[in-house]
Each structure stands twice: as structure tokens, then as C-alpha cells.
A and B are shown apart, each in its own frame.
Chain A
């Protein structure tokens, strides 16, 4: 049985990843004047968050 706070941890990883890499994408987009980089950053953030979630919650602990 997963622990009780796992659901919220997963949600916060997703939100954190989207905010962080969306923010980085937005800043880089302003620098390079390519506005679409914000969206690219958000998608990259989702991908990295999912990677983190998989590493954290499906691998056996150290």
C-alpha cells in the first residue's frame, strides 16, 4: 500500500517541475525572443517530473 502522502508528493513534483522548467523556459524565451520556449519548458518540466516520480516511487529504496 502506498503511503498516505504519496499522492500529494506526486502532485507537488509535477507542479514543481512545471513551474521550475516553465519558468526557465520563459526566461530563456525572453532572452532569445522565442515565446514558445515557455511551453517547451513546461513540457520538459512534466517529463523530468515524471522521471523523478518513477525513480522515487517505483525503484526499491537504498
Chain B
């Protein structure tokens, strides 16, 4: 199909237009972008831009907040302290207690970075969650994975960590060869897998839902009964939008909480 034909059908393709055209459903192709520019084989695309913007904004906000910290906070420092204390009291302390305060910078960065990358799904012009590209959750998960394995090996000794992990208490010795592989597999492989997939799948599905209902609103919009369908579709779009406001925050919270939990799991010697 030539580009001109695509353009005319794209702009004229509605519910009851003649010749009839089907609903232009969103596909996985909507998650792949043409590069903004390329350097050799490296393509700089929109998700990468959004990720860099998220990192820059998080850095800028916290740098501005704590540039000249005062004992009695003024202005921007209030916001920064609000963010840090929220992560510390809701995520870190319930999992790790006070000994976990040394991991607070890591968790704060993780939480706000993921939250902002998720939020691009809802912000006009951008309207794409950077975390729905699998590479970004995988990268974050790799950092978390290396961190908790390293912490476990440091606190319990390299052999002791795996030994404590593999031996459940109270199990008779003859069942250990059957149970230990499950435990090792679950802690070392399944945890990072589920951590990354959970974040990616939630953001991907949220974005797909928004796409489906917004395209449907436009597709159904005509001077006939289609107007009613379009209105209903738009109302559902608004409801999904509100849901996504919650989900973006929740997924960042879950990722960070599980990171804190895995770190606390690595710190204690035995169950």
C-alpha cells in the first residue's frame, strides 16, 4: 500500500465509512519506534529519550532539593524530604528496619526513576511508558539481582549463602536433593524473571488498553449511532486512564518493595 493510500484511509477510516474498513487495532508494532537519529548501528528512539529525561528529572529534582540542606527545610528541600521519607517509612523500614538505611539512596533512586518512566504513559505528547520496553525493567532487575546476591554472599559467606538458601529447616535429609534445586532455582532465577516481567507486562497492558479505547473513540466518531459508541468508548478510556494513574505508582512501589525484601532476605543468615 502506498503512503498516500495509507494516509487517506487513516484519516477517513471511520466506523461506517464507505468503502468499509475495519477497526485499526493497535499491534505490537506500536511499541517499536522509528529512530530519532542513528549513529552507525545504534538507534536513538523515543523510549530511550523518555528514559534519559526521567533520569535527568529525578537527578535535577533531588539535586535542587538538597543543594544547600538546612536543618529546618525550606522550599524544595521539603519536597525532597517528603519523597525520601515516604520511601524510607513505607518501603524500607517495614522490610529491613533501621539497619537498611544504608540502602536508602538505592531504593529512592529506583522508586522515583521507575515511577517517572511509568508516568510517561499518561503525560501528553510522550504518552508511552518507557518501562514497557523490556530492556529497561531487565536492566533494573539485573542491578537488583547482582545487588542482593552480592549482599548475601558478603554477609553469609559465598558458600554459606547458597547452603542456607538450599536447606529448608526441619526437612529430612533424604528429601533435600529434591527440594534444594527448586529453592535455588526460585531464588536465583525465578525472582529476577518475575520482577522484570511484572513491571513490563503491567505497563505494556496499560498502554495497550489506552490505545484500544482511544483509537476506538476516534474510529466510532461519526454523525450516526457511532457517536454514542464513541462517547462510551471515551468514558472507558477515562476510567482506564485513572486506573493507570494508580498502576504507575503501584508498580514502582511493588518493584522497590520486592527489592527491599530480597535484600533483607539476603541479609539474614537463616530462616
Q: Which residues of A contact B (CB under 8 A)?
A: 3-5, 8-9, 11-13, 15-17, 19-21, 45, 48-49, 51-52, 55-56, 59-62
Q: Which residues of B contact A (CB under 8 A)?
A: 94-95, 168-171, 175, 178-179, 181-183, 185-187, 189-191, 194, 257-258, 261-262, 265, 270-271
Q: How far does the Cβ of A26 sit from chain B's closest Cβ, in whole Å?
A: 15
- Which of A3, A16, A61, A62 has the most CB atoms of chain B within a 10 A radius of its CB? A16
Asked if residues B95 and A12 are in contact (CB atoms below 8 Å), the reply is no
Asked if residues A62 and B265 are in contact (CB atoms below 8 Å), the reply is no
Asked if residues B169 and A16 are in contact (CB atoms below 8 Å), the reply is no
Asked if residues B171 and A55 are in contact (CB atoms below 8 Å), the reply is yes
Interchain residue pairs A-B with the least CB separation, the first 9? A5-B261, A16-B186, A55-B168, A59-B170, A12-B190, A16-B185, A12-B186, A17-B182, A62-B169
Instruction: Please give, as numbers and ranges, the residues of chain B lying within 8 Å of A20 by CB-CB distance.
Output: 181-182, 185
Interface of A, secondary structure class, is helix
Bound Cα distance A6, B10 (Å)? 50
Bound Cα distance A9, B194 (Å)? 11
Asked if residues A5 and B258 are in contact (CB atoms below 8 Å), the reply is yes
User: Mind listing 14 A-B residue pairs with CB under 8 Å?
Assistant: A3-B261, A4-B257, A5-B258, A8-B194, A12-B194, A13-B186, A16-B186, A17-B186, A48-B178, A55-B168, A56-B168, A56-B183, A61-B271, A62-B271
Query: Among B179, B194, B262, B270, which residue has its beta carbon within 8 angstroms of that of A52?
Result: B179
Asked if residues B170 and A5 are in contact (CB atoms below 8 Å), the reply is no
Instruction: Please give, as numbers and ranges, the residues of chain B lying within 8 Å of A52 by CB-CB distance.
Output: 168, 179, 182-183
Closest to B178 in A: A48
Bound Cα distance A21, B185 (Å)? 11
Contacts A8-B194, A21-B182 aside, 8 further interface pairs with beta carbons under 8 A come to A3-B261, A12-B186, A20-B182, A48-B182, A52-B168, A55-B168, A56-B183, A62-B271
Instruction: Please give, as numbers and ranges, the residues of chain B lying within 8 Å of A49 by CB-CB distance.
Output: 182
Instruction: Please give, as numbers and ranges, the residues of chain B lying within 8 Å of A12 by CB-CB distance.
Output: 186-187, 190-191, 194
Given known pairs A4-B94, A5-B261, the reply for A13 and B181 (CB within 8 Å) is no
Instruction: Please give, as numbers and ranges, the residues of chain B lying within 8 Å of A62 by CB-CB distance.
Output: 169, 270-271
Bound Cα distance A5, B256 (Å)? 12
